[in-house]
Structure 1
Amino acid sequence: METYRVRDYFQLKTAENKLSAVVDAFSPPEDSSWSTEEWMAFLQEEGITYGILEKNIERLGSDPLSVVYPLEVARGIPPVNGTSAYIEPARFDKGEKEEEDPAEVDLKNVIHIAMVEAGAYTGRKVEAEPGENGTGVDGSDLQAKAGKDFPLRPGKNTRVEGNDIYAVQAGQVSVRKKTIHVNPLYEVKGDLDLKTGNIDFTGNIMVRGNVPSGFELKAQGDIRVLGTVEAAVLTASGSIFINAGVNARNKGSIEAGHSVHATYLNEADVSAGADIVVKQTVMHSRCTAGGSLICNQGRGLVIGGIISAVHEINVNEAGNSMNTPTSFYIGATHGYVERRRQLEQALYEAKEESTKVSDLLKTIQSKEENGISLSSKERVMKLRARNTLEAAKDKARDAAEELEESAHVSPNPESGIIRVGKTLHSNVDVHFGKYRRVMNKSHDRAVVFMEEGEITLNVT
């Protein structure tokens, strides 16, 4: 009886991240069989030493022809990245309650104003954690990324003791990514109107009514609006809290250095350095979050528009049954992807222009080298061509440098995730950096993420 070697009819494939190894078959003879020991020796020869799935090896040893290939034979332990340092604000007792419409979603946590006295504890820095390394199927150490740290410095009207932050005077607490400020408060008792005018304040701004179209609010601290914001411009170095919601009609903008909180967004342009948290619906809006976009309380509905977030998009329902186009950008925001596309196009056009102008210059210079005098028109053309060539080279160099710089600071799209608690409708397109996938049918309880260079959809 002829002796068959395992490697003559099978090959082993190891994942690029070394977290999985599978066996694939070439068409082994029907009378072939190999012992468990022979399979283990084959794995050893291929460098697979860790996380071996013994039950699957036994299946290969007992009846390899009945196995559905490829078959996973080893599984590593993925590294667990560390937690970055962050600011944890103190829990403040709620004092005065704001009047609210009982029909609205409870936003007490959003509109509560944390006022403190001098010397009060306002929060602390929670230290970064290093993470835990994983192990590859070849026994190698898979390095975890340590959480990012930052130096804790006192904010406006605060002092630091170790990792604790205290107020040095009375005021309103404003939490930032890397510190806490205690700001003075500018308060508008009702709606913003012509009598009040636009506001540009060094601390926090509180509007107890509505902000109509055409007005501007600018705060170095936080902005809190207890009513509705229309097509206005709100800019805050801290966070923006809107008790009701935003009806912007695709005008105005809302921009926060930290987070934005609202009940709903309708045709709004919203950006936040950290999270965007919406209680009910996001309709036909353009949202860009440096952290996550969360819309999973109440209806948790997102329809139309462009939603961008670096870490996570977490909603109850994405799109609708009418297949309204809805775009999700995760890891790399829509603005980042669009800018990369523009730079790549500019680089291509500059190179094309350089090639054409260089060919023209060579033709003109060839005439001169052959002793042919240039006409006045050709001399002007030569001068213009040289200037055009230099401009094209500068354009190409600038685009190439910006592309290189953006590559170093770009977010990692593979670390982002999209979670849809109820329904992910068709015609929702998801983008992970340069990768794109359009949903061609609806899915319930969907999770979308990057795996092995592909956009993966899991239904839980």
Structure 2
Amino acid sequence: MDEIDKYFYIVIAKDHLSAQIYCTDSYHHDLDLDFNEEQIMGFLQKNKVNYGIDHQVIRQVSATIGKEAFPLVIAKGLPAINGKDGEITYETNFSTEIVHDSEWDFREVMHIPSVATGQKLATLMNPTVGQEGVTVEGNRIKAFPGKRLIIKTGKNVVYREEDQSFFAVTNGQLTRVGNYIHVHPVFEVHESISMKTGNLDFIGSIIIHGDVPNGFTVKAGGDIKIFGMVEAATVISEGSIYISEGFVGNNIGLIQAKENIKVGYINQGEVCAGKDLFVENSILHSNCLARNQVVCQQGNIIGGTLSAGKSVDVKDIGNHLGTKTEVVFGIDKSIQDRKDQLFSEKEKLQDALTKLEILGKRLEGQSNLQSPRSRISYLRYRNTVHKAETRLIKLEEVLEQLDAQIGSEKEASLLVRNFIHSNVIVSFGKYKQMIRESYHYVAIHLIKNEIVIHPLFN
């Protein structure tokens, strides 16, 4: 055995999952060595290598191979395989996206994931326990079992233990919120909103077969479909909003959705879409925001402000009368205006505090500070400073929370299918350009920090 130690040594990997045999400087392939497999096995055991031994390598070593062949992996351990976490398999598609192929109609804005009573929604898969490993020394390597996936039943959903499956107990819209699966039934109103129904605040989707008049509020945790018009009302959805006719806001109405908005026309209203805004006809004197795109291919945008994160596709912008109209990319104009206002107030407060600091030093330097009049003046000064500092802290907190960014202005584009008229302001982030003359059939982009107008097609 000592003879083998003269020519070979063993190195075990740090993870103990492999062992290599090395030859010493005394080893030469032309030596007349006569080590059999049993002796080499004993040598391995002496070096605590007991598992995963490669007998083919042992035969190579006993045959006195060339020195350049070393080192050789003479044993391999078995790595531990940790268990897989539990999984859930859904039986229906949650996506609300529409495939935009060559036959896509922009009127098809969303697909509502709907389920029927008794329909299987999902099935839980158990975690696996894993498989233990073994080191080359023969020691066991612990495997960690997978974690169980915790999914709970929400509204209108039941769980069947036998096959670990979830089922709907009513017709409705399927949603996931955190670890809960819900089915939100659809609430329908078969007439215009009136005092008979009052305001609507519903967790699921709402369908209204009529109008939403002035002053009413409609809120939904799902989608809202209105087969009529919306006057100076408030319509807020956690999903998408569809209005078959139009929205006349009278500068007080609001339409807001976290997903898409599809509407016939917009007049003097405020509209905010978390994704896309589709308008069949015109947008007049309104403030609109879409974090993705605005599509208004058959109508005009006249007056007001339009903010978009990615693109605006429109027939006409502005008019022959030169009505001021603003199109902004990359930022929410209303939030940016609010930030600018707060920044201005912040600068004024900082300037006032600087002047107050000078005044305070003068007051503290007065020899008669203990007199009643001086004490009153000093206390007034301290009170003014405290109010200014408190307001400044509040402003900084609000400014930190305000985020006007809604996309990348460098990737944004404005497509005009007919005319863009004078007195239209186009902004890409901080870059702004006033249109001085009418252009026909053009695209506008931000290229190398410069707003470029070029023909839509050459």
TM-score, normalising length: structure 2: 0.62
Q: Aligned-pair distance for 1:168?
A: 3.7
Distance 1:114 1:254, change over 3 A: same
3-state SS in 2 of match to 1:379 = helix
Return the alpha-carbon distance in structure 2 between the equivalents of residues 202 and 346 of structure 1: 40
Return the alpha-carbon distance in structure 2 between the equivalents of residues 216 and 168 of structure 1: 30
Equivalent pair of 1:111/1:241 in contact (CA under 8 Å) = no
Return the alpha-carbon distance in structure 2 between the equivalents of residues 356 and 372 of structure 1: 22
Summarize the alignment of residues 166-177 of structure 1 with structure 2, pairs less than 5 Å apart. Answer: 168-173=168-173
3-state SS in 2 of match to 1:305 = strand
Task: Quote the residue 1:96 is aligned against.
Answer: none
Equivalent pair of 2:332/2:406 in contact (CA under 8 Å) = no
Distance 1:318 1:156, change over 3 A: farther
Return the alpha-carbon distance in structure 1 between the equivalents of residues 278 and 404 of structure 2: 29
**2:240 pairs with 1:239:** yes
Cα deviation code 1:240-260 (max 9, x no counterpart) = 110111122223211112221
Return the alpha-carbon distance in structure 1 between the equivalents of residues 424 and 438 of structure 2: 9
3-state SS in 1 of match to 2:432 = strand
3-state SS in 2 of match to 1:251 = coil
Equivalent pair of 1:331/1:415 in contact (CA under 8 Å) = no
Distance 1:353 1:203, change over 3 A: same
Q: Aligned-pair distance for 1:332?
A: 0.5
Return the alpha-carbon distance in structure 2 between the equivalents of residues 90 and 403 of structure 1: 34
**2:372 pairs with 1:376:** yes
Task: Quote the residue 2:445 is aligned against.
Answer: 449
Task: Quote the residue 2:199 is aligned against.
Answer: 198
Distance 1:91 1:254, change over 3 A: closer
Return the alpha-carbon distance in structure 2 between the equivalents of residues 412 and 362 of structure 1: 49
Return the alpha-carbon distance in structure 2 between the equivalents of residues 450 and 443 of structure 1: 17
**2:218 pairs with 1:217:** yes
Q: Which deviates more from structure 2 when the two are superposed, residues 448-457 or residues 332-341?
A: 448-457
Task: Quote the residue 2:360 is aligned against.
Answer: 361
Distance 1:121 1:221, change over 3 A: same
Distance 1:154 1:288, change over 3 A: farther
Return the alpha-carbon distance in structure 2 between the equivalents of residues 389 and 210 of structure 1: 53
Q: Which amino acid aligns with 1:345?
A: S
Return the alpha-carbon distance in structure 1 between the equivalents of residues 424 and 176 of structure 2: 33
Return the alpha-carbon distance in structure 2 between the equivalents of residues 156 and 293 of structure 1: 35
3-state SS in 2 of match to 1:231 = coil
Task: Quote the residue 2:386 is aligned against.
Answer: 390
Distance 1:455 1:110, change over 3 A: closer
Task: Quote the residue 1:27 is aligned against.
Answer: none
3-state SS in 2 of match to 1:187 = strand
Equivalent pair of 1:175/1:238 in contact (CA under 8 Å) = no
3-state SS in 2 of match to 1:391 = helix
Task: Quote the residue 2:119 is aligned against.
Answer: 119
Return the alpha-carbon distance in structure 2 between the equivalents of residues 270 and 408 of structure 1: 16
Return the alpha-carbon distance in structure 1 between the equivalents of residues 152 and 278 of structure 2: 27
Summarize the alignment of residues 291-306 of structure 1 with structure 2, pairs less than 5 Å apart. Answer: 291-296=292-297, 299-306=298-305
Cα deviation code 1:326-364 (max 9, x no counterpart) = 111210011221122022102211111111111111111
Structure 2 portions without partners, runs of 5+: 1-92, 100-104, 123-150, 159-165
Q: Aligned-pair distance for 1:173?
A: 3.8
Return the alpha-carbon distance in structure 1 between the equivalents of residues 241 and 410 of structure 2: 29
Q: Aligned-pair distance for 1:440?
A: 0.8
Task: Quote the residue 1:458 is aligned against.
Answer: 454
Quote the sequence identity (%).
32
3-state SS in 1 of match to 2:288 = strand
Return the alpha-carbon distance in structure 1 between the equivalents of residues 120 and 316 of structure 2: 42
3-state SS in 2 of match to 1:284 = strand
Task: Quote the residue 2:326 is aligned against.
Answer: 327
Aligned match for 2:428, one of 424, 427, 432: 432
Task: Quote the residue 1:417 is aligned against.
Answer: 413
3-state SS in 2 of match to 1:300 = strand
Q: Which amino acid aligns with 1:322?
A: L
Cα deviation code 1:104-162 (max 9, x no counterpart) = xx99746997753253789xxxxxxxxxxxxxxxxxxxxxxxxxxxxx99997689xxx
Task: Quote the residue 2:259 is aligned against.
Answer: 258
Q: Aligned-pair distance for 1:227?
A: 0.9
Distance 1:250 1:409, change over 3 A: closer
3-state SS in 2 of match to 1:328 = strand
3-state SS in 2 of match to 1:229 = coil
Equivalent pair of 1:245/1:264 in contact (CA under 8 Å) = yes
Structure 1 portions without partners, runs of 5+: 1-85, 93-105, 123-151, 160-165
Q: Which amino acid aligns with 2:171?
A: G
Q: Aligned-pair distance for 1:389?
A: 2.2
Task: Quote the residue 1:352 is aligned against.
Answer: 351
Return the alpha-carbon distance in structure 2 between the equivalents of residues 287 and 434 of structure 1: 19
Kindly name which structure, 1 or 2, has the bigger radius of gyration based on alpha carbons.
2
Return the alpha-carbon distance in structure 1 between the equivalents of residues 282 and 227 of structure 2: 18
3-state SS in 2 of match to 1:426 = coil
Equivalent pair of 1:237/1:256 in contact (CA under 8 Å) = yes
